[in-house]
Structure formats: C-alpha cells, structure tokens
A and B are shown apart, each in its own frame.
Chain A
Amino acid sequence: MRKKTFTAAVLVAAATLTLSACGNGDDTASPVTVVSDGSGAHKAATVLDQPFTKPDLALTDTHGKTYDLRKETKGHPTLVYFGYTHCPDICPTTMSNIAVAKKSLPQAEQNDLRVVFVTTDPGRDTPAELGKWLKGIDPRFIGLTGDFAKIKAGARSLGISVEPTTKDKNGKLVSVHGTQVVAFSPRTDAGYVLYGEDTTVDDYTKDLPKLVRGAKP
C-alpha cells in the first residue's frame, strides 16, 4: 500500500521533470500545479486488514529499568517507532511530529497515550543518551534500548526491517531506522494502523483522537 503511494509520487515527480524540461517549449505549463495535485489525495494512515500482535519485547528504559512492552502498554493507545538518535532527519522529525500533535489531545488522553521509541543503535543509544535526546522532544516519551537481536526480532514481527549499525568506508557509524510508526489499539492491543515517514503533524493531529479510542482513522 505504502509502496504504491510512493511509486505514484515518483511518477508525479517524473512527470513534473518532463514538463519543466525544455522539450515542448511551452512556457505556460507550470510544474507547480502538477505537484500540488498529489497532496490533496494524501492519506497518512494505512489501516491493516491483519493487525500485528504487539511484540513480546522486554528492554531497558531511559531510567535503566526493565520495560516490558506488552505489560506496560496493555490497554493504552500506543505508538511504536524504531529509530536512533544519531539520525539527523526522519527520526527527530517523526518523534517531534507526534509530540506536537499529542498536545492537541485532552490532558487525560495525553496521559493515556504511550509513545515508545525503540533504538536500532543500542551501541550508541545508552539509556542516558536516549533520555537526553527524548527530553528535547517530549519527556514523557519512552525510550528503549538493549540487545540488538531482540530489537530486530521485535521490529521484524511488525514487518519492519532494521539492520545493525555498521561502519562505512570512511569509518563512520551508519545506522538504520524503521520507516513506519505502528499504532496499537487500547481495546485489542493489536497494531492496526501504520504511518509512513511522510506523515505530518496535521495528519497525526487529525488521527490521534481516533487512535486513543482504538477507532479507525
């Protein structure tokens, strides 16, 4: 589903390039109108026909304590994302978008919501590092770190593929983040909605009131 949308976006982009190239010599063909056409049909949420079971994941939180995902988030609306703090672009944007959108919820629902950031780079993301980073986004967000094999298995059970941190040819550490946020229902504890990395604050603001009730966005 997600992939299909992305392909469409690429096609639109390709069409735009064609228009803006010098081929037809028609200066009135404005590529800008083509680009704005796509955004109207944009829908951030992908509701799953077959929801995911919440991963059985016990890791270490930012206070250095064991955090059992199933136990701690049972009955709570929960958003889970896999990323890392040495990530300049998508990881902070994704978490900040959720943090800003969350503020539009009534206080009781804000308290009910669990937002869980699971690091894909446990070597660098110690509990303290994770805590420092999340504090700059939303101090109530939960950060988890621990054994990479466990993290990878948890991600895989949600259809998210992550790889261990490696060194590139310059000796720099390169990590991988997930490309989706998974929303779990407070009623069924199942992961029933996915959000891609192009999801905006407005998308989350619109959908969170439904997600906290376990409704379909």
Chain B
Amino acid sequence: MKRRTAVLTAGALTGAVALTGCSASGAGPQRAELSVSASYMPQPVSADMAAGFLTITNKGGAGDELTSVSSDVAGQVTMHSTTGGAMTEKSSFAIPAHGRLVFRSGGNHLMFEGLKRAPKQGQKVTLRLGFAASGPLTVEMPVRATTYNPSTGH
C-alpha cells in the first residue's frame, strides 16, 4: 500500500516534468525520475542460476545509478556487462538523465545465483532495485520461455 502511493507520486511528478521539461528555458528538474519496463527472466535450464533483463527509463533531469538488486528467488543477484563473450561483474550502472539503462540478452544482464526454487515459465519473481539517489523500486518480473525474444514477443 505504502509502495503504491510512492509509485503514484512518481507518476504525477513525471506528468509535471513533461510540462516543464525540455522547454526553451532548458531548466529540467534536477532529479531522476525512474521507471522500469520490459522486464523478464528466461526460464533457466538448470536450478543453478538464471538471467534477468529489464529497462530502466529516466525521465528526470539528473542522472542516477543502479547500485543493488535483490530477489525473493535468489540468494544473490549480481549485475554484469558483457563484451565479446566475457562478462564482468559491476557494482553499479549509470542511468543518464533523459536516458535509459538497458539490460538485454547479449549485453548487460542480471545474474541470479543461489536459486531457492527453479523459476518456471508463467511465474513471477520479485525484484528490488536500489539506487544511489532515488528510492528503491519493486519489480514483478515475469518468467518467459528460455527462448523468449523480446523483439518478436515469443
């Protein structure tokens, strides 16, 4: 209940931003306005680990950083970037003002380790995202088919 109020407030603020942001004066609000979309977890092939993807959009005039991720299904969730087949664990990811932070297959990804149960297609897992400046966000992440492709939707 408490959480829902916070989200509504964020929504209202975003609306206000749309009215005042990007105007000729160029004076954007000096804070991040974060929202999460396109989240999913491909059903893992074993109960050892899973990946997760999502997009964090920042409509605000200040940047922020994703600094922590936790989940009800995993002992630990870590953040990784991927370059040429090698992944590197990162302690934070920048979310630019008026920009996006994208976790997508083949690029940045969330890694769920120490799974308490094997997530199955059709279920949801709960994520809690922590930020350097903004308050935490809770995400209900759907579990999709192992072969799910967000660009085709199946």
Contact = CB atoms under 8 A, between A and B. Distances in A.
A177 B85 contact: yes
A162 B85 contact: yes
Interface string B70-109: 0000000000001011111100000000111000011001
Interface in B45-60: 45-46, 48-51
Interface in B116-154: 146-147, 149, 151-152
Nearest to B87: A174
User: Which of A20, A92, A198, A202 counts the most chain B CB atoms within 10 A?
Assistant: A92
Interface of A: 17, 20-22, 25, 39, 85-86, 88-90, 92-93, 95-97, 100, 132-133, 136-137, 161-163, 168, 170, 172, 174, 176-179, 197-198, 200-202
B89 to A, nearest CB: 6
A174 B86 contact: yes
B114 to A, nearest CB: 12
A132 B106 CA distance: 24
Interface of B: 21-22, 28, 42, 44-46, 48-51, 82, 84-89, 98-100, 105-106, 109, 111-112, 146-147, 149, 151-152
A90 B86 CA distance: 11
B45 A90 contact: no
A217 to B, nearest CB: 19
Contacts of A17: 99-100
B-side interface mostly:
loop
Contacts of A96: 45, 146-147
A200 B148 CA distance: 9
Contacts of B44: 88, 92
Contacts, number: 81
User: Which of B22, B87, B105 counts the most chain A CB atoms within 10 A?
Assistant: B87
Contact of A133 (B28, B45, B82): B45
A179 B85 contact: yes
A152 B82 CA distance: 20
Nearest to B109: A89
B49 A88 contact: yes
Nearest to A22: B22
Nearest to A162: B85
B49 A86 contact: yes
Nearest to B84: A179
Contacts of B49: 86, 88
B22 A25 contact: yes
A132 B46 contact: yes
Nearest to B154: A201
Contacts of B21: 22
B48 A86 contact: yes
Given A17-B99, A136-B46, A202-B152, A92 B146 contact: yes
A22 B98 contact: yes
Contact of B147 (A22, A93, A174): A93
Nearest to A35: B151
- What 9 A-B pairs come out closest when comparing CB atoms? A22-B22, A88-B51, A136-B45, A96-B146, A89-B51, A176-B86, A92-B45, A177-B85, A88-B111
